């Protein structure tokens, strides 16, 4: 049994990025932990009462979605939504180091450094620094996932483009991924938005087609220690 850690910016990123893969880890009996670092709401709403209500709603949704996927624990930090670049990077790194120290994961899934979303970029860079291979180092594999409406919106020359080199067959777990995503229905959009149910399914089918299976999730392998 392995300890798996998903470090995500906002509730729904975990499902969009690696929901089918999480289910596979759960089916294998792995211990799965999801850490959300940004509050996910305060950049959208100005009224304090609305912010508090929305924060509670999204955290409740996150716990429900993660339960569907088979996650063992869910934690929340409160870094500012869409403003994580305003926080000293060292603070974020130390927060991630504490989470790693608690769960001692062998595999970490997190954001791609070239995403349009600034929180995704910041977290991706912080994870790499927090995972310096020194001391009692547990992390053997670091994988970056893609998040529709952020990863593919990057343009050539604007940042590192997502070029997947690691794939997970989710033909048998895509249905449960979509079920977990339905918990976040407020965050979903109508087709042809990339964060629509139809687009998410199409992406999974396309990633699957590139490796000869029905559905897959694609990743960029950042480090693997054998």
Residue 56: DSSP 8-state: H
107-111: strand order across its sheet: 73-79, 31-38, 3-8, 107-111, 141-145, 216-224, 166-169
In the predicted structure, residue 61 carries a pLDDT above the cut 70: yes
The CATH number of the domain covering residues in 3-224: 3.40.50.10320
Report angle CA 122, 126, 131 to the nearest 5 degrees. 155
Taking CA atoms, 173 is separated from 24, 86, 108, 179, 217, in Å, by 7, 37, 20, 10, 11
Exposed (0-12), middle (13-18) or buried (19+): which is 3, by Cβ within 10 Å? buried
Tell me the domain boundaries of the chain: 3-224
The mean pLDDT of 199-222, rounded to a whole number, is 98
Instruction: State the pLDDT confidence band at 54, using cuts at 50, 70 and 90.
Output: confident
The mean pLDDT of 77-81, rounded to a whole number, is 93
In the predicted structure, residue 45 carries a pLDDT above the cut 70: no
Taking CA atoms, 104 is separated from 60, 62, 107, 136, 226, in Å, by 25, 22, 9, 9, 17
pTM: 0.95
């Amino acid at each position: 049994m392995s300890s798996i850690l998903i470090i995500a910016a906002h509730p729904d990123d975990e499902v969009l990025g690696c929901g089918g893969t999480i289910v596979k880890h759960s089916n294998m009996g792995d211990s799965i932990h999801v850490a959300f670092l940004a509050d996910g709401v305060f950049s959208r709403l100005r009224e304090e009462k609305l912010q508090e209500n929305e924060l509670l709603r999204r955290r409740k949704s996150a716990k429900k979605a993660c339960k569907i996927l088979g996650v063992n624990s869910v934690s929340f930090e409160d870094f500012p939504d869409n403003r994580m670049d305003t926080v000293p990077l060292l603070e974020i790194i130390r927060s991630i180091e504490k989470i790693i120290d608690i769960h001692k994961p062998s595999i970490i899934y997190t954001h791609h450094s070239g995403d349009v979303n600034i929180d995704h970029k910041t977290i991706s860079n912080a994870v790499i620094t927090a995972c310096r291979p020194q001391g009692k180092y547990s992390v053997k594999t670091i994988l970056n996932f893609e998040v529709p409406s952020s990863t593919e919106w990057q343009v050539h020359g604007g940042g590192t483009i997502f070029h997947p080199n690691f794939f997970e067959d989710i033909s048998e777990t895509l249905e449960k991924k979509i079920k977990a995503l339905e918990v976040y229905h407020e965050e979903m959009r109508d087709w042809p938005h990339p964060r629509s149910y139809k687009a998410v399914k199409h992406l999974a089918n396309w990633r699957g087609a590139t490796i000869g299976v029905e559905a897959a999730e694609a990743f960029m392998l950042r480090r693997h220690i054998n």
